[in-house]
């Protein structure tokens, strides 16, 4: 069980030995039952591997099926094993969704009308138009850049009843980063409280595409962990990719703007300005239309990922300072933050439960409610 917990956390024996402050041989002896850790050392093992302490006393590892379909692909090898960081992030989002769903039902709220309203038989172009109409957006944004339009899109999506959560680490723990090569986002479908989670450790331009991809999953009524693979083989993923591409850069407007007689990367900047999205989105659209090769596209994306670094303002924000409370509604959804703040200040939700849901300490809830979510 000790070896299983370490491997489940993706830690080498050397890495875990360093975290525990013991010699490598001690870790090997414990895993081979040559000796036994103390009770406290076993607790530290569980803590460092993010494993429930009681699991270490089981006779064999428990089954740990993911609560939603895993639609990720890794080359030709299918889905990869989900990390503890991904599992914990999904579980946290699911707990928030469950609470918010119960809250809405108690408020006699109506279900979100478009959840599960389409099928794979719909045309991606028609679905993209339907989504734009619902969100009150033109075919092509007339102003702004990729970043500002992303913020506006999140705002409009949340206004429809979808919770949008965005973070680059597990909970408030900056020492547990999320890996964009493992997943870019996921969707948790529910009639009352659908959730979209975006991994902000990914390149900013990729997040824009992922957001719309996940929104297409909500429209389909299909949950899933996703990587928005440009070469996805699953029908559902191809469909959602096509919807996202058409939503952000409609083919009829895109093709005439693409110049075949110049180096392909020179098209990115002017088209990004034309469609008010990121260069990443333009490259993704060009790949989908067969205008650039897979090696060119893959190389470009790898360079963008390598160049992307977590902003220090976010990296250092998991504290009790003002930056934390400013960014928190982004991480857990402003819509959810407002509901939790209202319920906690009214006394219908304990401050302890509110802290467990969104991470605001009890003595800071009133300040958070007034300054951050406008209550």
Residue % of the chain over a pLDDT of 70: 90
Q: What is the pLDDT of residue 203?
A: 84
The average confidence (pLDDT) of the chain is 88
Average of pLDDT values for 93-111?
96
Residue % of the chain over a pLDDT of 90: 69
pTM, full prediction:
0.85
Average of pLDDT values for 88-98?
95
Could you read off the pLDDT of 276-295 as tens digits, one per residue? 888 999 999 999 999 999 99
Could you read off the pLDDT of 50-74 as tens digits, one per residue? 999 999 999 998 877 777 777 775 4
Q: Where residue 172 falls among pLDDT bands split at 50, 70, 90?
A: confident
Q: What is the pLDDT of residue 75?
A: 43
Q: Do the Cβ atoms of 360 and 325 come closer than 8 Å? A: yes
**pLDDT higher than threshold 70 for residue 86:** yes
Q: What is the pLDDT of residue 76?
A: 38
Average of pLDDT values for 79-107?
91
Q: What is the pLDDT of residue 309?
A: 59
Say which residues have a Cβ less than 8 Å from residue 301's Cβ, sequence separation at least 6. 203, 206, 280, 283
Residue 97 — φ and ψ, nearest 5°? Answer: -60, -45
Q: What is the pLDDT of residue 74?
A: 45
CA distances from 129 to 138, 161, 216 (A): 9, 19, 12
Average of pLDDT values for 128-149?
83
Q: Which CATH class is domain 2-57?
A: mainly alpha
> Quick one: 162 exposed, middle or buried, by C-beta within 10 A (0-12, 13-18, 19+)?
buried
Q: What is the pLDDT of residue 231?
A: 67
Average of pLDDT values for 338-347?
94
Q: What is the pLDDT of residue 77?
A: 40
Q: What is the pLDDT of residue 230?
A: 61
**pLDDT higher than threshold 70 for residue 310:** no
Angle between helices 235-248 and 279-288 (to 10 degrees): 130
Q: Do the Cβ atoms of 345 and 366 come closer than 8 Å? A: yes
Q: Which residues sit opposite 163 in a β-bridge?
A: 195
Tell me how far apart the alpha carbons of residues 175 and 19 are, in angstroms, rounded to a whole number: 12
DSSP 219: H
Could you read off the pLDDT of 19-28 as tens digits, one per residue? 999 999 999 9
The domains of the chain are located at 2-57, 84-310, 313-371
């Amino acid at each position: 069980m000790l070896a299983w917990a370490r491997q489940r956390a993706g830690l080498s024996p050397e890495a875990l030995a360093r975290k525990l402050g013991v010699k490598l041989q001690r870790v090997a002896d414990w895993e081979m039952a040559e000796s036994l850790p103390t009770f406290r050392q076993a607790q530290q093992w569980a803590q460092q591997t993010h494993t429930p302490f009681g699991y270490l006393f089981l006779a064999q590892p428990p089954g740990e099926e993911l609560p939603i379909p895993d639609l990720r692909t890794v080359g030709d090898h299918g889905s990869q094993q989900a990390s503890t960081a991904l599992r914990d992030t999904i579980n946290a989002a699911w707990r928030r969704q469950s609470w918010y769903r119960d809250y809405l039902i108690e408020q006699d709220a109506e279900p979100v009308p478009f959840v599960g309203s389409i099928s794979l038989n719909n045309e991606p172009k028609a679905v993209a138009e339907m989504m734009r109409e619902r969100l009150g957006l033109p075919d092509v944004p007339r102003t702004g850049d990729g970043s500002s339009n992303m913020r506006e899109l999140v705002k409009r999506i949340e206004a429809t009843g979808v919770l949008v959560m965005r973070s680059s680490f597990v909970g408030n723990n900056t020492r547990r980063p999320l890996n964009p090569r493992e997943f870019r986002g996921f969707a948790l479908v529910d009639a009352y409280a659908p959730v979209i989670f975006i991994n902000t450790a990914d390149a900013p331009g990729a997040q824009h595409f992922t957001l719309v991809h996940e929104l297409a999953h909500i429209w389909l009524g299909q949950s899933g962990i996703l990587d928005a693979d440009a070469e996805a083989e699953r029908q559902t993923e191809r469909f959602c990719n096509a919807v996202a591409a058409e939503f952000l850069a409609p083919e009829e407007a895109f093709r005439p703007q693409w110049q075949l007689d110049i180096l392909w990367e020179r098209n990115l900047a002017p088209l990004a300005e034309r469609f008010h999205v990121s260069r990443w989105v333009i490259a993704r659209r060009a790949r989908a239309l067969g205008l650039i090769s897979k090696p060119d596209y893959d190389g470009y994306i790898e360079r963008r990922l390598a160049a992307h670094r977590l902003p220090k303002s976010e990296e250092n924000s998991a504290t009790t300072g003002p930056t934390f409370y400013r960014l928190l509604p982004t991480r857990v959804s402003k819509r959810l933050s407002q509901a939790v703040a209202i319920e906690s200040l009214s006394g219908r939700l304990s401050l302890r439960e509110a802290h467990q849901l969104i991470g605001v300490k009890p003595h800071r809830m009133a300040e958070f409610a007034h300054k951050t979510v406008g209550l």
